[in-house]
Structure formats: structure tokens, C-alpha cells
Amino acid sequence: MEFRRRSVEIAVFLFIFVTVIVEKMKQMKRAVPFLYPGKRILFLILTLCLLLLSPSLKGEVQLNDSATVSLLTASPWNGAVYALFGHTAIRVQDDSTGVDAVYNYGFFDSSKPGFIYDFVRGRTDYILGVTSFQAFLDEYSDRGQQVIAQQLNLSPEEKQQLYRALYENALPENREYRYNYFYDNCATRPRDMVERYAAGVIHYPPTAKDQSYRDLVHESLVHYPWYSFGIDLLIGTEADSTIGVREKMFMPSYLMDSFEKATIRKNDTLTLSLVEQSELILTQDHGRNGIPPKDLFTPVVAAILLLLASLMISLLQAVKLKKSRLPGLYDSFLYGIIGLGGVIIFFLMYFSSQPATNPNWNLVWMNPVALLAVPFFWVNSAQRAVYSYHFITFALLTLFLLGWVFIPQQLPLATIPFSMSLWVRSATNLFLFRKKKIKNRRFTSSREMKAAWGQ
């Protein structure tokens, strides 16, 4: 209240000051006409001062005691990969002052030059954006998402401090932050802000079961097997460690559930629920945002088909039923794709600051060396090097498949048939190399024997 009173006093003072100056300039105009242009200049300067001062008068409003602060949680949206995990924002509402703003830590500019490269490197900057609550509702209603509001049990002082912090954080010079999909995202930021400005100790009850980061990702992508498979390839052993209730809050749905059960310990005798009340403000439109039809062509199916293709080509090649360039083209495609995937994994492991990417056992079968080996498949003089490559690949994959159950990383099931495709092709090439070598040796011996008899 004191802030509003002082703001009004300043505005009244400036109005009176400008009025007095204008009247004086009118008198000066009549007395000294050539000074009249100075009035315009002075009026322009005073107007500019008012404009510069106006943000400080309007920016941070003193909230009424009846103001509310709510955590908004949106359900997943099937229109974009990043939205499949849901979303979190903070709403500040005060009917007496007209404040009804939503603070959203999930803004980013994908059109920014180098966005994908920066994201892979772990150097993506997200932005705290501010929209009206109505604009927020319109956007999520159009998408068909469910939105639940949890009104937080905060004192007027705590609400004001949180609102001030959000306002300052949203200023152009403060609004960017370095995004991290496990440790610093659109859900963890609101949690941290609430914890920082809620006077007291917030206690979150433990969750029902032990889970890892990977388990939670699988839960969100259960209807999207290819997205789940892709993420499984990119994150390593660190993602399989059991995490606590607070770490699980990187998922908006887990943050909402944890807030619902959380308490604030104000002192030795006073403990309050963190959430005062919850309200469903948007219901999910399953017509626009429903569960997608089941995809029959899953990574496992694709891997099995690839394994069958490898077996068929190897059989044809081994018995020489058909002599063609097909095996070489197939190997170039297979090892080339595997090598490209290995380059991405290798880059994430050693040149990126993204979390949970190193170590990653997928690098054993998805190795970037395969990409380097492909050109030598077509060079006759490099066959010894190609033989060595296939021998090492065969040995590594044999150990990899035999020791599958001992690998300290939850690898996708499709990894087995994918790895076996490589194993079959390397084994076939080794067999053919050995067979050709034996044949050449016999041919050489035969020529030597004939030459000896001829003598």
C-alpha cells in the first residue's frame, strides 16, 4: 500500500510541476516572444522523464492481501517433441490491481542461427516470458491441453517477494538462462522460485517407487517408441541412477504431484500444506490432443527386419548364388548409418555439456569408426585394413552381446537385433576373406606344382 501511495504522490507532484512550468512559459511568451520555442523543448524533456519513470511506477505493483499465486501444470501436447513432457508456469493474480500474469520459463527461439548445434552442445538459452493469463488459456485451449492450477499457501509478504523476483527475472537483461533438460528447465525453475521465497522449510514426501531419469522419460514417451529409442541412444549410464523426489520434479506432472502433498514447516509448532486448493481450469480435448494410434513399425520391428535382410544377403553372398554389388552397397549403407549415429554419440560424450551422456555403452555398437571404414570397402588395396576392421567389430560385438546382462546401462531392446545385423555382416565378410585367402593360396600352390612338373 505504501508503494502505491508514494507512486501517486510522485505523479501528482510531476503534474503540478509541469503545469506551473507551462504557465510560466506562457507568461514569458507574452513578455519575450522569441523564447516561446523553449516551451516545446522543455515539455518534450518533461514528457520523456515521465515516460522513463513510468515503468518504475507500473512495473512492480504492490499486491493486495487477497492476491493469489498459483502453479499451472499443462498436460503433454502431441504437436511437438518438447511438449510431450507437459509444461509448468506460475500465475500471479490480483483483481484489485488488475494483475493477472503468467510467468513461463519455457520460451526459446528455434529460428536463432545455430540453435540445433547449440542444443546438442548443451548451450541453449531459454527465456522467462510473461503473458496474460487469458493469452495463456487461449493457447493451451487451442492445443486441447489440460491445465490444473494449484493455489499456493503463501503469506502476503511471500507473494509480494515472489512477484518482485519474477518481475525482475523477466527484465530483458535477466530473462535468459542456460537450459538443462534434467537439472534446470521450465519445471525446476518455478520450484526453485517458490522454495526461495516461501518462508519455512518445504517437505516433500517420498515417491512410491524407485525410478531413474530414463524411467520417467519412458513414462512420458510410452506412445512414441521412436522418440524413446532415440533418447535411449543418446543418454548414458548416469540416466539410470535412482533419483529422489526432488530430482523427479524436472517432469511437470511429478512437480505437480509433489506440490500437492508437500508441507511448509513455518516453525516448531506450525506446519501448513503448500497447496491451498487445486482447480481444473482446462479439460483435455482428446479429439485435438489425444493418444496417437499405435505404431506397429517400432524400433524393435525395424531392427528385426534389418537383421533378416543381413542374414539373407550374407547367405546369398556366402553360397555365391548371385554375384553383384549389392552386398557392398548394403554394407556401405548399414555401416554408414551406424557410423553417423556414433559420431553424434561421441560428440555428446566428449564435446557437449548435456547431462547424462558420458559414459554411453551404445558407442560399442554404434561406433563412429564405421563411417571412416566405409570408403575403404571399395578399395582393393585396403582389404587388409577392412579385414582388421571387421575382425575387431566382430570381437567387440560378440563380447557386447554375451555380456549384455552385465552392462551397467539400460539399453533399448532394439539394440540386440541391430547389433546382430552388424555382427552377421562382419562375420560374413571375415568368412569370405578367409575363404578367398585359402583359395588364392591353393591356386598359388597349384601353379607352383605345375611349374615344377613342367621343369
> Does residue 258 contact residue 237 with C-beta atoms inside 8 Å?
no
pLDDT at 185 over 80: yes
Confidence category of residue 453, pLDDT binned at 50, 70, 90: low
Average pLDDT over residues 409-435: 95
Q: Give yes or no for residue 43 having a pLDDT over 80.
A: no
- Class of CATH domain 68-207+244-282: alpha beta
pLDDT bucket at 23, cuts 50 / 70 / 90: low
Task: Return the sign of the alpha-carbon dihedral for residues 81, 82, 88, 93.
Answer: negative
Q: What is the pLDDT of residue 25?
A: 53
CA distance 410 to 51: 59
Quick: pLDDT tens for 343-393. 999 999 999 999 999 999 999 999 999 999 999 999 988 999 999 999 999
Residue at 207: amino acid letter: T
- Give the confidence band of 454 by pLDDT, cuts at 50, 70, 90: low
Quote the CA–CA distance of 275 and 222 in Å, as a whole number: 30
Task: Give the residue-averaged pLDDT of 223-227.
Answer: 96
Residue 124 has pLDDT above 70, yes or no: yes
Q: What's the confidence (pLDDT) of residue 45? A: 52
Q: What is the pLDDT of residue 34?
A: 40
Q: Select from 56, 147, 53 the least CA-distant residue to 102.
A: 147
Mean pLDDT to the nearest integer, 110-133: 90
User: Residue 361 and residue 233: Cα distance in Å, rounded?
Assistant: 9
C-alpha 81/C-alpha 79 separation (Å) is 7
Q: In what order do the strands lie in the sheet with 125-132?
A: 176-178, 125-132, 99-107, 87-94, 68-74, 147-152, 275-282
What is the predicted pLDDT for the residue at 321? 56
Decide if pLDDT at 100 tops 80: yes
**126: part of which helix (H) or strand (E)?**
strand 125-132
Q: What is the pLDDT of residues 260-305, one digit of tens each?
A: 999 999 888 889 999 999 999 999 999 999 999 999 999 999 999 9
pLDDT at res. 447: 53
pLDDT at 36 over 70: no
Please state, in angstroms and rounded to a whole number, the distance separating the CA atoms of residues 50 and 329. Answer: 73
pLDDT bucket at 113, cuts 50 / 70 / 90: confident
Q: What is the pLDDT of residue 444?
A: 52
Task: Extract the C-alpha cell encoding 356.
Answer: 547424462
311: its cell numbers: 542374414
Q: Which three cell numbers stand for residue 247?
A: 530430482
DSSP 3-state of 202: strand
Band (19; pLDDT cuts 50, 70, 90): low
Contacting residues for 37 by C-beta, under 8 A, at least 6 apart: none
Domain boundaries of the chain, sorted by first residue: 2-58, 68-207+244-282, 299-445
Checking if the pLDDT of 450 tops 70, the result is no
Instruction: Answer whether 78's CB lies under 8 Å from 84's CB.
Output: yes
Q: Which residues pair with 316 in a beta bridge?
A: none
- pLDDT score at 377: 94
Mean pLDDT, to the nearest integer, of 246-252?
Answer: 97
Percent of the chain with pLDDT over 90: 73
Question: Which is it for strands 125-132 and 176-178: parallel, antiparallel or unpaired?
Answer: antiparallel
Q: For residue 4, what pLDDT is reported? A: 44
CB burial string 233-264: b at 16+ within 10 A, e below = bbbbbbbbeebeeebbbbbbbbbbbbbeebbb
Tell me which of 36-40, 104-108, 191-195 is least confident.
Answer: 36-40
Mean pLDDT of all residues in 71-89:
96
107, 137, 222 from 144: Cα distances, Å: 19, 10, 20
How close are the terminal C-alpha atoms of the chain, in Å?
119
User: H or E stretch including 80?
Assistant: none
| DSSP structural state of residue 206 | P
Per-residue pLDDT at 57: 40
**In the predicted model, what is the mean pLDDT of residues 296-321?**
92
